Chains A and B, each alone.
Chain A
Amino acid sequence: MIGITDASLSFGTLQMFAGLSVDVPQGRTTAILGPNGRGKTTLLRSILGFQSLDRGRRHTPHIVGYVPQHSASQAKLAGLEVVTMGRAARLGLFGQPGPDDTEAARAALVQVGACHLADLRYDRMSGGQRQMILIARALATGSDALVLDEPTSALDLGNQARTLSLIAGLGRARERAILFTTHDPNHALAVADDVVLMMPGGAVVHGPVAQMVTPDLMAELYGVPMRWVRPDGPNGRIAMLPEFTGKDALCA
């Protein structure tokens, strides 16, 4: 549905990935996981076609519902107007959005539970509210592919939970191919079916989340010891935390 095949990319002597094939089929959710600066966003941009590849090919639909890490839009436009922009690909060069497009935008706002933001100006919204609007805009495209670049990175804990719940809900519907980047293995555990790990040294590995998100692989990925946390009780959900030894903070 969405991905790249046998793709390679390097910037000068820095190799981002080589011979990489990633495919996110319809109905699956994939997380790209890795620390800062490892090339998660570059891989995402390569899959979307915003970054040209040295070698390989991409198989991405013409229209993708894309949620950027930060929207450049500081426009004093109402939330509904921003969501309606998701219909642009259907309008043609000289087209203007009509009642059908406004209806589709309203439906997308209903889907993300953000009807109350329809008339609020985008530049006056909080980070969490803006994220809901951008996800609604991505859904309004009507694409079967949804791509989110670090959708939780600038959000507080409550908004992170709301955004992840929304992505999980969209994933459970099994209607779309969903791809997102994140720093946090717990986000992948909560939402994704598969993960792509941006390992040290330019290696990229991928597979089902249950096999890939393990303390050993995460320790190698982030360079710190990791352990499972298992809350008491039968309904306790497992999570992964780094070991806080305090040693790294001390000067030698």
Chain B
Amino acid sequence: MSMALNQTSRRAQLSLRLGVFPAMAAGLALAMLYAISAGRFDVPWIRVVEILWTRAWDLSGSPETMDERIVELVRLPRVLLAAVSGAALAVGGAALQGVFRNPLVSPQILGISQGGAFGGALAILLGYHGVVLLGMSFVFGMFALVLVGFLSRINGRTEMLTVILAGMIVGAFFAALVSVLQFIADPNTSLPAIVYWLMGSFSTATWARLGLAVPGMAFGLAIVWLLRYRLNLLALDEAEARSLGVNPDRERWFIFVAATLMTGTSVAVAGVIGWIGLVVPHAARLIVGEDHRRLIPASALLGATYLVLIDTFARNLTAAEIPLGVLTALIGAPVFAVLLRQHFKRTGAA
């Protein structure tokens, strides 16, 4: 009797897990459709489908009517950029949490976002945009991560509490450096550019910007996707992982570079959008469990959906567009507080 029940429950779990990815993908498609449709100039969703369907069969044509121009030139690149950024930030967070064996870790907690922000702000101050801004965001994001790794390694061991503390120290340091840049920036030209960019927004999304962001994010996503089973092994103790044929030092760096590439690129094209890498993997873990073979694609789909919806609310809730970082922090900070309490309750220590 109990064996039959057990088998039934296993089948239910299996069907739930098999059905959950199509459901998430459908959710993302609906969210994107809603995001393209909604705005100050309302385009009915059936008209959005019609425009996209027509364009799919005639890529060489150009938009003629107002609604075609809004859908194809304004909203579609913006929604796609939000989706790919959301996926990249969430997957970056999930991968870092696996490597650090800690669900509280995220690119922002580790100071990568602030390092990337400094690199980007420095590029703007120096008059650079595009690829240089992207490159500097990546380099300084990576530098911040290396600093955290160095500071948190004591006697050859990396304790979770010291990682979080080191991340906060490095993050605060780079945040201070960003303030220094703002202080010395020209108040008429570069200062507004830096401030607006830092608050996070997809309002300047174009096909060109999307083309700039996609390679870095796709490369980072591909690395993490390929290493998704390895992440299960990297979550083990170092000696355990080594005995199973894993080279933790080398393989961790693949993940670090991928996560930083994704975060740095996202910061470069849309400014600092915090908390996605923390909140989304947590939600994904509740739905599909801790196996990274399921967690990584689930984080990508949920992250994309989450940021597409957040961006849609940001531009539609009020007359003026709300900075994305404000909305994600309003949701993310309370979730982080709850997670932190649960973590310390469960472990009794750091």
A71-B240, A95-B229 known; A119-B10 Cβ under 8 A: yes
A48-B243, A89-B244, A94-B227 known; A73-B236 Cβ under 8 A: yes
Q: Give Cα A141 to B244, complex, Å.
A: 7
Query: Cβ of B64 < 8 Å from any Cβ of A?
Result: no
Binds A, one of B65-73, B195-203, B287-295: B287-295
Query: Cβ of B252 < 8 Å from any Cβ of A?
Result: no
Residues from chain B with a CB closer than 8 A to the CB of A77 are: 232, 289-291
Q: Is A71 a contact partner of B244 (Cβ separation < 8 A)?
A: no
Query: Cβ of A76 < 8 Å from any Cβ of B?
Result: yes
Most buried by B among A65, A85, A91: A85
Q: Is B245 a contact partner of A88 (Cβ separation < 8 A)?
A: yes
Interface residue range, chain B? 20 to 34
Residues from chain B with a CB closer than 8 A to the CB of A249 are: none
Query: Cβ of B55 < 8 Å from any Cβ of A?
Result: no
Q: Is A66 a contact partner of B243 (Cβ separation < 8 A)?
A: yes
Contact of A62 among B237, B245, B289 (CB under 8 A): B245
Query: Cβ of B165 < 8 Å from any Cβ of A?
Result: no
Q: Give Cα A70 to B228, complex, Å.
A: 24
Contact of B240 among A73, A89, A94, A95 (CB under 8 A): A73
A85-B244, A119-B6, A119-B10 known; A75-B232 Cβ under 8 A: yes
Query: Cβ of A251 < 8 Å from any Cβ of B?
Result: no
Q: Give Cα A184 to B100, complex, Å.
A: 35
Q: Is A72 a contact partner of B232 (Cβ separation < 8 A)?
A: no
Interface residue range, chain A? 20 to 34
Contact of B245 among A63, A76, A97, A119 (CB under 8 A): A63
8 A Cβ contacts from A106-157 to B: 119, 141, 147
Residues from chain A with a CB closer than 8 A to the CB of B244 are: 66, 85-86, 88-89, 141
Task: Please name the residue on chain B nearest to A143 by beta carbon.
Answer: B243
Residues from chain B with a CB closer than 8 A to the CB of A81 are: 232, 291
Q: Is B230 a contact partner of A75 (Cβ separation < 8 A)?
A: no
Contact of B290 among A45, A72, A76, A141 (CB under 8 A): A76
Expressed in whole angstroms, the minimum distance between the Cβ of B252 and any Cβ of chain A is 13
8 A Cβ contacts from A17-45 to B: 45
Expressed in whole angstroms, the minimum distance between the Cβ of A58 and any Cβ of chain B is 13
Query: Cβ of B82 < 8 Å from any Cβ of A?
Result: no
Q: Is A72 a contact partner of B229 (Cβ separation < 8 A)?
A: no
Q: Give Cα A30 to B305, complex, Å.
A: 56
Query: Cβ of B38 < 8 Å from any Cβ of A?
Result: no
Task: Please name the residue on chain B nearest to A44 by beta carbon.
Answer: B239
Expressed in whole angstroms, the minimum distance between the Cβ of B224 and any Cβ of chain A is 11
Query: Cβ of B101 < 8 Å from any Cβ of A?
Result: yes
Q: Is A85 a contact partner of B243 (Cβ separation < 8 A)?
A: no
Q: Is A93 a contact partner of B235 (Cβ separation < 8 A)?
A: no
Residues from chain B with a CB closer than 8 A to the CB of A209 are: none
Q: Is B235 a contact partner of A50 (Cβ separation < 8 A)?
A: no
Q: Is B101 a contact partner of A72 (Cβ separation < 8 A)?
A: yes
Contact of A50 among B239, B291, B293 (CB under 8 A): B239
Expressed in whole angstroms, the minimum distance between the Cβ of B234 and any Cβ of chain A is 11
Expressed in whole angstroms, the minimum distance between the Cβ of A176 and any Cβ of chain B is 15
Q: Is B243 a contact partner of A93 (Cβ separation < 8 A)?
A: no
Most buried by B among A68, A70, A73: A73
Expressed in whole angstroms, the minimum distance between the Cβ of B127 and any Cβ of chain A is 41
Interface residues of A (CB under 8 A from B): 45, 48-50, 62-66, 68, 70-73, 75-77, 81, 85-86, 88-91, 93-97, 119, 141, 147
| 17 A–B contacts, CB within 8 A, in A order | A48-B242, A48-B243, A50-B238, A68-B240, A71-B237, A71-B240, A72-B235, A72-B240, A73-B240, A76-B289, A86-B244, A88-B245, A88-B246, A90-B245, A93-B227, A94-B226, A147-B243
Q: Which 10 A-B pairs have the closest CB atoms?
A: A89-B245, A66-B243, A72-B237, A88-B244, A94-B226, A76-B290, A50-B239, A96-B229, A75-B290, A68-B240
Q: A72-B236, A72-B240, A77-B289 are in contact. List 20 more A-B contacts (CB 8 A).
A: A48-B239, A50-B242, A63-B245, A64-B243, A66-B240, A66-B244, A71-B237, A75-B235, A75-B290, A76-B289, A77-B290, A77-B291, A81-B232, A88-B244, A93-B226, A93-B227, A93-B230, A94-B227, A97-B229, A147-B243
